[in-house]
Amino acid sequence: MIRDQWYVVLESKQVADKPVGVTRLGEKLVFWRGTDSKIHAAFDRCPHRGVALSIAENKEGVLQCPFHGFEFDGSGNCILIPANGRNGVIPAAMRLNTYPTFEKNGLIWLWWGTTPPKDLQDPQFFENLDDTFQYATIQQHWDAHYSRVIENQLDVVHLPFVHRNSIGRGNRTVVDGPLVEWHGDTMIYTYVFNRLDDGIPPKKPSEITSKSESRVHLEFIFPNIWQNYIGEDIRVFAAFIPIDEEHSILLIRFYQRFLTIPILGKFVAWLAMPMNKSIALEDQRVVITQTPKPSGLKSGEILIQGDIPIIEYRKKRAELQNR
């Protein structure tokens, strides 16, 4: 996993009034809301006697440990040790290990690193995916490393085989390119040019001169969000949420804005979810068998031209890991 990055880890609706305990990035974490509804995150462990704070009480934004009543604010500071009295001494070490958080678009990000920079910037999201869209969401638990799930969504070669009865119909097995563009330092665009095998070898990326041939493209922002740009008014969004080295959550959203009436628009978005779930399960059946579990530049795999998006992803991932 890549340190010093903003990761989507939860949906906003998953954290309400009570603390929520989850495993993310191989760590047991607790999330809770302050009186201003701001999200806070810390190790799910009381520094006093190791009790899980996910079973604590949220007292107006302060976590009260259920074991001995120690209280911790959103910054991780211990503000009360009942056994020492309200004016008692609190050891400086009696504090929670916390992480910065950010909330927007109905998603919760966690900045996973050791020491956040003083000028920590907000996480990046897709500028062309805004509040004019309505969406529905599902989540799937995968027994796979999140990097493998990401690569599956950058893989344009697998479509006519894994999805031969759904989005890969038509037996378009030849992959021209694919054309990959970097937008800034952490965003990849992949343009898809699959076609029938007519005996003509696949074009090289340098031979593809116009993106207008394919309005459909894939967008990925490091470290873990993606969208399928199907059209101006239809998108499929995904967050690849790392649980640990062998498990992840695939969060899928279908966004639409061709029907703007709020209730009907939301209903239409939900109608699309069974198909999106089915497509993801087609992928899951294959991806969970991949070895080794995490992907990497030196994974022992022999890649081809059609794997260019995956090669670009692996190069950047390795660069970020080695910073």
**pLDDT score of 211:** 62
Q: Contact at 8 Å (CB) between 210 and 228?
A: no
> Are residues 193 and 107 located together in one domain of the fold?
no
Can you give the CATH number for the domain in which 14 is found? 2.102.10.10
Rounded Cα–Cα distance for residues 152 and 124 (Å)? 22
> Are residues 266 and 165 located together in one domain of the fold?
yes
- Helix ranges (H only) for the chain are 146-154, 159-162, 262-271, 273-287, 308-321
Instruction: Report if residue 229 sits inside a domain.
Output: yes
> Are residues 88 and 145 located together in one domain of the fold?
no
- DSSP reduced 3-state for 303: coil
> Are residues 103 and 205 located together in one domain of the fold?
no
CB atoms inside a 10 Å sphere around CB 12: 15
Instruction: Report if residue 126 sits inside a domain.
Output: no
> Are residues 34 and 90 located together in one domain of the fold?
yes
> Are residues 280 and 141 located together in one domain of the fold?
yes
Structural domain ending residue among the three candidates 77, 112, 147: 112
Q: Cis omega (within 30 of 0) on the bond before 201? A: no
Residues near 210 by Cβ (< 8 Å), separated by ≥ 6? Answer: none
Q: What are 224-256's pLDDT values in tens digits?
A: 999 999 999 999 999 999 999 999 999 999 999
Instruction: Report if residue 120 sits inside a domain.
Output: no
Is the pLDDT score of 213 beyond 60?
no
Mean pLDDT over each residue of the chain, to the nearest integer: 94
Rounded Cα–Cα distance for residues 313 and 311 (Å)? 5
Residue 231: give the domain boundaries.
134-321
- Helix ranges (H only) for 211-306 are 262-271, 273-287
> Are residues 70 and 196 located together in one domain of the fold?
no
Calculate mean pLDDT across residues 201-207.
92
Q: What is the DSSP string of 261-283?
A: SHHHHHHHHHHTHHHHHHHHHHH
> Are residues 140 and 254 located together in one domain of the fold?
yes
Instruction: Report if residue 244 sits inside a domain.
Output: yes
Is the pLDDT score of 283 beyond 80?
yes
Q: What are 119-141's pLDDT values in tens digits?
A: 999 999 999 999 899 999 999 99
Instruction: Report if residue 258 sits inside a domain.
Output: yes
Q: How far apart are the first and last CA of the chain?
A: 13
> Are residues 284 and 139 located together in one domain of the fold?
yes
Count of domains observed in the chain: 2
Can you give the CATH number for the domain in which 310 is found? 3.90.380.10
DSSP letter, residue 285: H
Report which of residues 245 and 211 the model is more confident about: 245
Residues in the chain: 323
> Are residues 195 and 107 located together in one domain of the fold?
no
Instruction: Report if residue 122 sits inside a domain.
Output: no
Of 176, 77, 57, the residue nearest 68 (C-alpha): 57
Is the pLDDT score of 72 beyond 90?
yes
**pLDDT score of 210:** 63
Rounded Cα–Cα distance for residues 139 and 123 (Å)? 21
> Are residues 149 and 91 located together in one domain of the fold?
no
Instruction: Report if residue 65 sits inside a domain.
Output: yes
**pLDDT score of 323:** 81
Instruction: Report if residue 117 sits inside a domain.
Output: no
Calculate mean pLDDT across residues 252-261.
91
> Are residues 12 and 150 located together in one domain of the fold?
no
Q: What is the DSSP string of 105-146?
A: TTEEEEEESSS--TTPPPPP--TT--TT-EEEEEEEEESS-H
**pLDDT score of 212:** 54
